[in-house]
Every structure is written in structure tokens, then in C-alpha cells.
Structure 1
Amino acid sequence: MARSDRLFRLLDALRRLPPPVTAERLATEAEVSVRTIYRDIETLRAAGARIEGAAGWGYGLTEDPALPPQQFTRLEVEAVAMGLMEVRQSGDATLAAAAETAMARITAALPERRQREALHAAVHLHRAAAREAPQATIDMLREACWDEIAVDLVYRDADGEETRRRVLPLCLVYLDRVLILLAWCGLREDYRQFRLDRIAGATPAAESFRPRRVPLLRAYIAGMEERAGPER
């Protein structure tokens, strides 16, 4: 197999498979040895691909310079435009601004015909519901998720009773009318969902739980799917 084809196959595997992907799995996908995978990972990194991870743990592709927007089809452009409309309508202010900037950058990189299709998409989306949550709290919790830093919460339940607890933030969930923090709760020693509009205080703690966020989130999702049972 030509080296360029091998690198393309490796990139494709990194795009498709949920991270972290082990070198053994990548070697199977690319039909090469594990040692070759280690060398090819370094080659892709040197070419500009941002691949996080290490030998013995696994890899994940976070930035891929090999897929320029010019390769998008009309339907793919439509899908991207609709997805970013959803973020602008339903996301918090920081995400909405990022979606606006992202759409402008993507559109600017498209050929002229695709630019027209992006600017005048055949689908539109509107969300009227607004979610109440302080932007500073949203930004801090999002960073805590990415940085895998524990957070000390003061939380009010539906009856207004306050509790203090340390949580491991896993992800923010944007529901129709409320924002939810999904976290591992140290007080209950279990997964819990916290409405952001009921968080009375949130402070980053000097405690890292890296690299547990992804495994914890996967375990939660797997548990939900198991409880839901097979589709009928």
C-alpha cells in the first residue's frame, strides 16, 4: 500500500472511531503494524493534524487539516448551515457567537457556487424558547468539562433547599427550555443532572479528574441505553 493511501486510511479511521482509539485498533483498520501506526501518527502530527493521546492509552483526532470545506457537497453544506443555525438559536451566547464566526469562515472558504448555497440555504430553523442561566456559569462549567477539573456547587432543589457538593462535570445538555449539567456527584456517589438555573454558586476546585471524563460519560450513556432496552 502506498504511504499516502495508508495515511489517508489512518485519518479516516481517526475520524470515524470514537476516541480514544488504541494503536492496535488503528493497526487493524489500516492493515499495518502497531509500530507503523506510531510512526504514521507522528507524520500526521508533523503535517498539522492535531492528534491527542499516547501509546498505551489511545488517540483522538481533534483538528484535521486534510478535509478542507471545498470538498463539501451541497447537502453537506446544507447540513452544516442548519446545524450552526441550531447552535445560534439554541446555544448560549458564547456558542452562538462561535457558530456565527464558524459559518463565516466556512462560507469564505467555499467555491462561489457553494457560497451561494450556504448563504441561501433551502432549510431554516427557529427556536423561540430561551434558557435562563448566567453566561459566566455556562462558560466556567464548559471549561471545567474540557479541563477535567472538579467543581464545587451550591445547588437548590425544586423546593429551594440548598446543598453543597463537589462534582466532576461531564457535559452540558441543551434541552428545550433548560440547560443541564451532567456530572458525577461526590455527595451522592452517583451520576446526577443539575439544572443550571438552580445552581446558586459554582467554583472550580483544585482537583483534576483527568483522564476520567470520557470513560465516565461513556459509562453513563451505556447505562441509559441498557435501561432503555432494545428497540421493538
Structure 2
Amino acid sequence: MLQALRTLPAPVTGDQLARNTGVSVRSVYRDIETLRAGGADIGGERGFGFTLIDDGSLRPRTFSRIEIEALTLGLAQVRKMGDSALAAAADAVLAKVAATLPSTGQQHVLHAVSRVHRFGDQASQDLADRVDMDLIRQGCWREEELEIMYTDRDGAVTHRAIWPLAIVYLDRMLVVLARCCLREDFRIFRFERISVVTATGNNFRPRRAALLRTYLALLDEESKRQ
């Protein structure tokens, strides 16, 4: 409920809150009173809508104006480059941060001067949404082996078992750094060449952090030689 009040344009009606949170309007009014009793300063009333004035659940934050610019710019980059789930998460983070700021800081968030524009953004987002990004992220988080169908540069389609280590957002390209079980070596897999992703249930915990450090060091050495 608090997150809905943070993100929806104020004043937010009971019907809007009910649709957003999946509860009845009657429950919305009851929850509003519970939140008020818990310390959240929520203005408004039934029939007129509600406005979150002071969020008692989050501790106040103090950021300088340049720090606010950095936050808004970084999260805007995530919205542009990430899949729909990551973009939604960026919006939620910014709303939570803004809710902890004094009114002046909230105005700085709304009127940040830094902007992000990347040519081909929509194509990158379409690619990210076509591939099961969430499954790959979960594979990295859980250190779980994945199976993929992958088309190599010569057009040959192979079935691979991989240990996903990290997702990397390059300019106009999205890749996953992984340990390839077929080749028994580190590999970079381009997302546009991945057609199917499934979880095997096999994990490689707790090796992800160490493997990623090793792979990044190898990539760094290779870049220095070029």
C-alpha cells in the first residue's frame, strides 16, 4: 500500500489503490488507517483520494543535489538498458528514495537535469524481454546451472549447460559471462543467440564469486594484450 502511494500520482483514490494492490476498497480504507496509526502521514479522505505526506516506515535521507543527480541518472540508465522487470525495479527504487527526502529533495528528483538517451534502446529492451532474463538472473543469484540452446557465429545450434556468472550490458549488446560445461572453459554468450533457457536444478555453489573473479582477471589480461 505504501509503495502504491509512493508511485501513483497523488491524490490516489481508493479505487486506484484497490486495483494496484489487489484488495477490496474496504480493505484499502482499513489499511490506510492502520498505516496512519503506524506513523505514516497520509493526507486526504474517502471520495477525494490520498497523498503520502511523510513515510513513517522509511528513515529520512539526506542527499546533496549532485548525489540526487547521480541517483536519477543511474536509475534512468537501468530503465533504458534493462528488461521490463529491471526497469520496474528502478522506478520502485527511485520512488522509495524520493519518499525519504524532504520536499526540496523531492523537487530535485522531479527536476533532475541529467538525462539518458541510447540509440537502439528499444531493440535492446525487446531482446531482454524475449529471453528469460529473470531465469538467468536467478541462475546467477542462486548459483544454479542452466541449459541453453545457442547459435554460434557460424549458425550451428548447440545445446549447452552453463554456470551463469554475470550479466553484462555492453553498448548495443547484452551478454552473459559463464562457465561452459561443454567446453569446460569460460565463455561469453550473446543474448540474441540464446533461444531457450531452462533451469536444471543443479547448483555450483559456492563457486560463482571465485569463478567470476578469475574470468574477469583473464578478460583484463586479454584486453591489455590487444
For normalisation by structure 2, the TM-score amounts to 0.68
Q: Cα distance, 1:177 vs. partner?
A: 1.8
Report the residue type matching 2:180 in the other structure: C
1:25-64 matches, within 5 Å, as none
Q: Cα distance, 1:136 vs. partner?
A: 5.4
Pair 147,135 (structure 1): closer, same or farther in 2 beyond 3 Å: farther
SS in 2 for 1:118: helix
1:126-141 matches, within 5 Å, as 126-129=117-120, 130-131=123-124, 132-135=127-130, 137-141=132-136
Equivalent residue pairs, number: 164
Following the alignment from structure 1 to structure 2, what is the Cα–Cα distance between the partners of residues 155 and 224? 22
- Whether the aligned pair in 2 keeps the contact of 1:151 and 1:202 (CA below 8 Å) is yes
Following the alignment from structure 2 to structure 1, what is the Cα–Cα distance between the partners of residues 81 and 160? 29
| Residue of structure 2 in register with 1:72 after alignment | 63
1:91 correspondence with 2:82: yes
The equivalent position to 2:174 in structure 1, one of 150, 170, 179, is: 179
| Residue of structure 2 in register with 1:125 after alignment | 116
Following the alignment from structure 1 to structure 2, what is the Cα–Cα distance between the partners of residues 134 and 111? 36
Report the residue type matching 1:178 in the other structure: M
Q: Cα distance, 1:159 vs. partner?
A: 2.7
SS in 2 for 1:70: coil
- Whether the aligned pair in 2 keeps the contact of 1:181 and 1:195 (CA below 8 Å) is yes
| Residue of structure 1 in register with 2:156 after alignment | 161
Following the alignment from structure 2 to structure 1, what is the Cα–Cα distance between the partners of residues 186 and 109? 40
Q: Cα distance, 1:69 vs. partner?
A: 6.0
The structure that has the greater radius of gyration is: 2
- Whether the aligned pair in 2 keeps the contact of 1:69 and 1:106 (CA below 8 Å) is no
- Percentage identity across aligned positions? 45
| Residue of structure 1 in register with 2:198 after alignment | 203
Report the residue type matching 1:119 in the other structure: L
| Residue of structure 2 in register with 1:106 after alignment | 97
Following the alignment from structure 1 to structure 2, what is the Cα–Cα distance between the partners of residues 217 and 78? 31
